[in-house]
Structures are given as C-alpha cells and as structure tokens.
C-alpha cells in the first residue's frame, strides 16, 4: 500500500463520525462465524448493526451479536418502534455498507427478485449503500444454474461478491461453498469504503 493510500486510510478511521456497517446474518451453518466478523469490525472502530433472519437464530443467538455489536439486533418488523434507531428504513439510510455474511442460496434468490417481507431484504431494497455478499452453502447449490443466474442478476445491479471459499463443507462435500475468512471480508469492507471516499 502506498503512502497516499495509507494517509487516506488513517483519515477514514480518525474521522469523528464512524462508518456504519449493517451486517445481515442468514440461516447457514456458517452463521456462527458472524460473531468473529462483528467483533473484527468493532475492533476496526466501525459502528455495527446486525439484522438476523429467522433461520440464522438456529445457529447463533441474537444476544451474542447484540453484545458484540453493542447495538440492538433487528430480527423482525414487529420489534420496530416509530423513530427507532434500528428500524429497517433508518438502518437503510444510515448504512455505509450492507454486508450479508453468510448469504444462503435462498437469500440470494430473495435479493435477486426484490423480496421485501423480512427486514434484511427490505433494507437491501431501501439502501443506496454498496452491497457486499459473502455466500455460504453446499457446493451443488452454489453451482446450480438458478443460483448462478441470481448471482449474475445481483452483480449486474452492483453487488460485490466475496467467496465462497473452497474446502471441506459441513455437509461432507468438498468444493466452493465455505464462508470466506472474516479478516478477508473486513479487508473488502475497508477497500470499498476507501473507494467511496
């Protein structure tokens, strides 16, 4: 990294107004890794808000992510209060990046076709922030033509994909489908913020 880029990075993180990363966590077995991801984002001095899908709660608790993010976790529309700082439209407006990690095949399909019946998809529709997606799923699901089409739809609309990584998957298959390492995801977040600046 050159000196000019180093200075840019220092300016970004010495700024009084912290950048806000909204992290969507969906129902993959890799959801437990969201704890490390949120922790690393907080260590880099970001303001982190988490949105969890209903299925994500089978793998990690909202309390864990609330504790690590130091902010309320949004789980459903019914929890929102008028003017609440974690209402889905307020989060959409506040986000500097919307990061979905892990993103399941179902989530990719819902995003590609503009569903808005859960808080995460609603934020994705309402925000102008860059969308960074880290997929995690079975290799056959990742390679299926429907998933490939959904990925291309989202890329055409500006979404950035990181991963999936290659390796042994929880289901016993080997191939692409692993959630990429948290440190690499955080590096991509910083790269996007620097490009925005």
Kindly name the residue from 70, 86, 121, 171 that is annotated as catalytic. Answer: 171
- 121 carries an active-site annotation: no
Q: At what angle do helices 182-196 and 34-43 cross, to 10 degrees?
A: 50
- Give the closest residue to 165 by CA, choosing from 146, 137, 187: 137
Query: For every residue of the chain, which 3-state class applies, written as one string?
Result: CCHHHHHHHHHHHHCCCCCEEEEEECCCHHHHHHHHHHHHHHHCCCEEEEEECCHHHHCCCHHHHHHHHCCCEECCHHHCCCCCCCCHHHHHHHCCEEEEEEECHHHHHHHHCCCCCCHHHHHHHHCCCCEEEEECCCHHHHHCHHHHHHHHHHHHCCCEECCCEEEECCCCCEEEEECCCHHHHHHHHHHHHHHHC
Catalytic residues: 171
């Amino acid at each position: 990294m050159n000196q000019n880029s180093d200075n840019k990075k220092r300016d970004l993180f010495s700024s009084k107004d912290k950048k806000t990363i909204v992290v969507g966590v969906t129902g993959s077995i890799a959801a437990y890794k969201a704890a490390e991801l949120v922790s690393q984002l907080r260590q880099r001095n970001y303001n982190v808000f988490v949105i969890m899908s209903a299925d994500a709660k089978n793998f990690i608790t909202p309390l864990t992510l609330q504790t690590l993010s130091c902010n309320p976790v949004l789980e459903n529309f019914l929890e929102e209060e008028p003017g609440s700082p974690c209402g889905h439209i307020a989060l959409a407006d506040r986000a500097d990046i919307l990061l979905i990690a892990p993103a399941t095949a179902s989530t990719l399909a819902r995003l590609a076709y503009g569903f808005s019946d859960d808080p995460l998809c609603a934020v994705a529709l309402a925000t102008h922030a860059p969308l960074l997606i880290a997929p995690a799923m079975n290799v056959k699901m990742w390679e299926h033509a429907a998933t490939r089409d959904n990925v291309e739809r989202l890329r055409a609309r500006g979404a950035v994909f990181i991963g999936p990584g290659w390796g042994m998957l929880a289901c016993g298959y080997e191939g692409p489908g692993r959630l990429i390492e948290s440190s690499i995801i955080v590096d991509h977040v910083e790269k996007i913020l620097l490009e925005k600046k």
